[in-house]
Amino acid sequence: MLSIGEFSKISYLTLNTLHHYDEIGLLKPVCTDSTRGYRYYNISQLETAF
């Protein structure tokens, strides 16, 4: 799994864009840490990002 920061660097999408995509359901993280709210993505989701 990749943190949102790692996924952002690989996909060239800003953190704000990833947060927005999560909110509208376009690109949801595979899991979210319920304590801290950190978002995690799977490498396979890069296909959706591009």
- Each residue of 17-40: pLDDT tens digit? 999 999 999 999 999 998 998 999
Cα-based distances in Å from 22 to 15, 19: 11, 5
13 phi and psi, to 5 degrees? -105, 140
Contact (Cβ atoms closer than 8 angstroms) between residue 21 and residue 29: no
pLDDT of the residue at 49: 81
Q: Once rounded to an integer, what is the mean pLDDT over residues 43-50? A: 88
Query: Distance between alpha carbon 1 and the CA centroid of its chain, in Å?
Result: 10
How far apart CA 10 and CA 12 sit, in angstroms, is 6
Sketch the domain layout of the chain as residue ranges: 2-49
**Using 50, 70 and 90 to split pLDDT, how confident is the model at 50?**
confident
The CATH class that applies to domain 2-49 reads: mainly alpha
Give the CA distances from residue 45 to residues 2, 5, 28, 35, in Å, rounded to whole numbers and listed in that order: 10, 14, 9, 23
